[in-house]
């Protein structure tokens, strides 16, 4: 069967007449009519009922049209994918992530990605605020905690816990707390707090949780600044354990001392988030898959 004949038939139905279909395709009406007639002859059925003023689908024709239209759409999509895959991926991918996400891991992953796909340019926005992907024109987001927008596609990387840290200088000046109650007398570096106060929920190794009211002179919405403030001696603060581990591996772990190591704030899940994949350009799909491949092992220890 000639697919061109099928395509002409679908165009006739959508245009509503042989004349309109011929004009749209640049063909004479007689050629369009003969093509549909050949298709009917090949199938051995009548697809259209013709009158001097109009044409109508037969019951068989309607069923055939629906399936033929879907089949042609699928073929067009397949051709687009094949064409897309045949060229070197290039273009801009806009991505957002919380500030200080994962220490240097994200930078290392993006550098490796750029070496593999040198024609793809990644524009990364690090921010502590919520970014609306559709409204602000972003392709990918890394997000922690509960996801609110169910229209997005999320791939879970794992989860991370937060520990209490201080600088050695601060602990020499103020002393090292040995119980949770002692935190009330210490200055704390706060994340997303108001009026210098915050509520921390810390869990011990057996899973027992305690809620604490803490105070501090500095509150910020960006995790990496929390780390910098702690290192500068501003007080005790919560940091992702993976960040502290990275600092230790880099040889300056003495800047961050783990305080009350039996306690941690259990972190939420970490996801790579995108709009629906069918709306995502190939270059963005490549980056999404690369992030999942490289970042999942870092957080798999916390997956549940």
- The helix/strand count (H/E) of the chain reads as 10, 14
Tens digit of each residue's pLDDT (9 = 90 or more) over 93-125: 999 998 766 556 788 899 999 999 999 999 999
CATH label, 91-159+268-302, candidates 3.40.50.450, 3.40.190.10, 3.65.10.10, 3.40.50.970: 3.40.190.10
| Mean local confidence (pLDDT), 54-67 | 86
For residue 85, pLDDT over 70 is answered with no
Q: In this structure, which topology does domain 3-85 adopt according to CATH?
A: Arc Repressor Mutant, subunit A (1.10.10)
For residue 73, pLDDT over 80 is answered with no
Tens digit of each residue's pLDDT (9 = 90 or more) over 118-177: 999 999 998 878 888 888 889 999 987 777 766 788 999 888 789 999 999 999 999 999
Evaluate whether 3-85 and 91-159+268-302 have a shared fold: no
| Amino acid 302: pLDDT | 41
So what CATH class is 162-259? alpha beta
pTM listed for this prediction:
0.53
| Amino acid 222: pLDDT | 79
Find how far residue 8's CA is from the centre of its chain: 40
* E strand segments, the chain: 48-50, 55-57, 91-97, 120-126, 140-144, 153-159, 162-166, 188-191, 197-203, 209-215, 218-220, 236-240, 257-259, 269-274
Tens digit of each residue's pLDDT (9 = 90 or more) over 240-249: 887 766 666 5
| Amino acid 200: pLDDT | 94
Burial class (CB in 10 A: 0-12, 13-18, 19+), 215: middle
| Mean local confidence (pLDDT), 277-291 | 88
| Mean local confidence (pLDDT), 254-278 | 86
Burial class (CB in 10 A: 0-12, 13-18, 19+), 98: buried
Give residue 303's pLDDT band: very low, low, confident or very high (50, 70, 90). very low
| Mean local confidence (pLDDT), 240-261 | 73
Tens digit of each residue's pLDDT (9 = 90 or more) over 190-231: 988 888 899 999 999 899 999 999 999 999 887 788 889 999
What residue ranges do the domains of the chain occupy? 3-85, 91-159+268-302, 162-259
């Amino acid at each position: 069967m000639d697919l061109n004949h099928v395509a002409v038939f679908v165009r006739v139905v959508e245009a509503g007449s042989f004349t309109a279909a011929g004009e749209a395709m640049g063909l004479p009406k007689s050629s369009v009519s003969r093509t549909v007639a050949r298709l009917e002859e090949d199938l051995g059925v009548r697809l259209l009922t013709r009158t001097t003023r109009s044409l109508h689908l037969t019951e068989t024709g309607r069923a055939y049209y629906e399936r033929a239209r879907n089949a042609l759409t699928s073929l067009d999509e397949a051709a687009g994918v094949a064409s897309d895959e045949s060229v070197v991926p290039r273009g801009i991918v806009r991505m957002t992530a919380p500030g200080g996400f994962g220490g240097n891991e994200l930078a290392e992953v993006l550098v490796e990605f750029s070496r593999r796909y040198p024609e793809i340019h990644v524009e990364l926005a690090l921010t502590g605020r919520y970014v609306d992907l559709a409204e602000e024109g972003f392709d990918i987001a890394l997000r922690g905690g509960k996801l609110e927008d169910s229209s997005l596609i999320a791939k879970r990387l794992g989860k991370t816990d937060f520990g209490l840290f201080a600088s050695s200088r601060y602990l020499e000046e103020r002393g090292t707390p040995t119980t949770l109650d002692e935190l009330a007398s210490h200055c704390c570096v706060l994340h997303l707090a108001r009026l210098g106060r915050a509520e921390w929920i810390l869990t011990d190794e057996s899973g027992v949780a305690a809620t604490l009211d803490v105070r501090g002179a500095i509150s910020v919405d960006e995790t990496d600044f929390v780390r910098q403030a702690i290192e500068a001696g501003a007080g005790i603060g919560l940091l992702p354990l993976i960040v502290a581990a990275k600092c230790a591996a880099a040889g300056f772990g003495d800047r961050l001392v783990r305080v009350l190591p039996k306690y941690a704030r259990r972190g939420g899940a970490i996801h790579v988030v995108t709009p629906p994949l069918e709306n995502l350009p190939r270059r963005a799909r490549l980056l999404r898959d690369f992030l999942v491949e490289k970042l999942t092992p870092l957080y798999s220890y916390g997956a549940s």
